[in-house]
């Protein structure tokens, strides 16, 4: 028990989240660079002939320069073990991000210095608030023109009702950054960017007298702004941070590797270690209890040469040992963990043991589903992963009938991973399933993966529906003749769903028959 508690205390498990193009994958790679687990940063997706960011392993990600699926990077820094989860920023892939947030203890929120709080950022802050996940904020791209630092602090506090408590403060306006003052000890750090941003920026400690001589009014203004912060009680309080009431703030530029070491140190020094996780009854399972964990992500074909499937498991308690027999909670059956791996983007290594906070990959665990709990000894069931109401629907059809079997296998794989929800109807038949998604770009991903990974060319036709409601067998029977409404059965759980073109059509149908069962799909985060 003492070893498990000691190892858990060394773990830091966090996600990097933000609006698209704020620099998530870049800072993910910069953190790995500062931890000295990679020798050179790809920075802007392969600039200068270098490889693209290590967390963007999918071909479509590398081609488009965006993150489509979350990735896990595990590495050591100082005396800690870091489990870093890079997430998609685009709203179309937000469902993957929300699932990842169930598996972390802290989040790093990136804000673009020029844009401040953007729609997806606001939504993600709300998710973190709902889950009481402590958030560290990194103001990125301070090497480019942007908003004033105090203006950004005001925006954070007024728009999301969380108090920013800067730990570092910039010397020089956005676009003319000389360095930062560390508010914890008053020192100033000057940065010299490495050529091309491929390596960590050189840091120079500058004393107050030298800083005033070098930077004059910019340094004086930074000190005056720090006095304003202190007067408004914008000072870090660890308890308030852990309760998600305040957010520590740091300034830097991920693409230039400026301010990244400070961020990494703050995560090690202040981010929470794994704590007891509540089960479905609300009873916390101690970290020193026998092994338990849950599947929060499933991904196939990460390495085209292997063409295998990996179930990502967050370890919640106890010591995991490769080869141990665990119980699969939904089925009650034993499950052997012979093929267990640690992750670093698409690179994988066999892992012999893991502790609370770690993310492990169980290879070819095809009997596992998203949200499934695993345990040893005393039974535990962790809360189900959040499910989100689809807003876009499209029919997909195999263009080559000789590949129908492979097509069905690919559709089942995409459904298992949660890339899309797969729906079937009697009218369309098994050969023409309907894909339901939060965003339309998910259909592009599904089509590209069916073609690239399963060698199945498909046609995708958008359908005129924008919302769905859960119904029952009598409701389905009544709705089959309703104009503009289509009834489907969801593959993953057999739920009966009715799809509507808009809310007005839904209201009309409900008005005509108030006894119809039309329940909203469960969604932890909505725009309503």
Could you list the residues known to form a binding site for GTP, using ranges: 86-90
CA 222 to chain centre: 34
Between CA 2 and CA 277 the distance in angstroms is 18
Pairing mode of beta strands 80-86, 11-17: parallel
HEC assignment per residue over 282-331: CCEECCCCCCEEEEEEEEECCCCCCCCEEEEEEEEECCEECCCEEEECCC
Contacts of residue 116, defined as CB under 8 A and 6 or more positions apart, other chains included, come to 147, 151, 152, 155
Do residues 318 and 378 lie in contact, with contact meaning Cβ atoms separated by under 8 Å? no
Question: Residue 457: CA atoms inside 13 Å, Cβ hemisphere, count?
Answer: 4
Q: Name residue, tokens 């408590």.
A: 165
CA angle 229, 234, 239 (to 5 degrees): 160
For 317, other C-beta atoms within 10 Å of its C-beta total 26
Helix axes 119-131, 149-160, angle to 10 degrees: 60
Could you tell me which residues are annotated as the binding site?
86-90
User: Token digits for 161?
Assistant: 């009702």
User: Token digits for 205?
Assistant: 């400690």
Pairing mode of beta strands 135-140, 246-251: parallel
253: which DSSP letter? B
CA Rg value for the chain: 24
User: Token digits for 235?
Assistant: 């000072």
């Amino acid at each position: 028990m003492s070893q498990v508690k000691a190892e858990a205390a060394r773990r830091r498990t966090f996600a990097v989240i933000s609006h698209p193009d704020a620099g998530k994958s870049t800072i993910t790679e910069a953190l790995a660079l500062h931890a000295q687990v990679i020798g050179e940063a790809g920075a802007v997706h392969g600039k200068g002939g270098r490889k693209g960011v290590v967390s963007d392993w999918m071909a479509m990600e590398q081609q488009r320069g965006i993150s489509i699926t979350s990735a896990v990077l595990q590495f050591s820094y100082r005396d800690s073990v870091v489990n870093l989860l890079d997430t998609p920023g685009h709203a179309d892939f937000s469902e993957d991000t929300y699932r990842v947030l169930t598996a972390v203890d802290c989040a790093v929120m990136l804000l673009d210095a020029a844009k401040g709080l953007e729609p997806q950022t606001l939504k993600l802050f709300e998710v973190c608030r709902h889950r009481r996940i402590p958030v560290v904020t990194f103001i990125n791209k301070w090497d480019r023109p942007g908003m004033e630092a105090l203006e950004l602090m005001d925006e954070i506090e007024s728009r999301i009702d969380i108090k920013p408590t800067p730990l570092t403060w910039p010397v020089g306006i956005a676009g003319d950054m000389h360095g930062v003052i560390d508010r914890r000890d008053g020192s100033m750090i000057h940065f010299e960017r490495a050529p091309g941003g491929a390596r960590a920026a050189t840091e120079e400690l500058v004393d107050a007298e030298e800083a005033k001589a070098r930077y004059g009014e910019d340094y004086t203004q930074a000190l005056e702004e720090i006095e304003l912060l202190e007067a408004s009680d914008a000072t870090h309080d660890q308890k308030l941070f852990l309760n998600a009431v305040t957010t520590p703030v740091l300034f830097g530029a991920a693409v230039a590797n400026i301010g990244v070491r400070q961020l990494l140190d703050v995560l090690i020094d202040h981010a929470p270690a794994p704590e007891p996780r509540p089960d479905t009854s609300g009873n916390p399972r101690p970290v020193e209890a026998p092994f338990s964990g849950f599947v929060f992500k499933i991904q196939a074909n990460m390495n085209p040469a292997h063409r295998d499937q990996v179930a990502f498991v967050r370890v919640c308690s106890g010591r995991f040992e490769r080869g141990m027999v665990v119980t699969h909670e939904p089925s009650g059956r034993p499950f052997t963990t012979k093929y267990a791996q640690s992750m670093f983007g698409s690179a994988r290594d066999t892992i012999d043991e893991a502790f609370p906070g770690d993310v492990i990959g169980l290879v070819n665990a095809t009997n596992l589903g998203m949200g499934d709990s695993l345990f040893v000894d005393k039974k535990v069931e962790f809360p189900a992963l959040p499910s989100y109401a689809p807003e876009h629907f499209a029919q997909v059809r195999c263009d080559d009938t000789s590949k129908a079997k492979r097509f069905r296998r690919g559709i089942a794989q995409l459904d298992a991973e949660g890339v899309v929800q797969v729906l079937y109807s009697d009218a369309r038949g098994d050969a023409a399933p309907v894909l339901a998604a939060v965003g339309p770009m998910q259909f592009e991903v599904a089509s590209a993966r069916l073609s690239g990974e399963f060698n199945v060319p498909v046609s995708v036709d958008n359908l005129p529906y924008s919302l769905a409601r859960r119904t029952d067998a009598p409701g389905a029977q009544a709705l089959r003749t309703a104009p503009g409404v289509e009834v489907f059965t969801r593959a993953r759980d057999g739920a009966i769903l009715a799809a509507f073109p808009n809310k007005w059509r839904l209201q009309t149908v409900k008005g005509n028959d108030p006894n119809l069962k039309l329940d909203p799909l469960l969604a932890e985060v909505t725009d309503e």
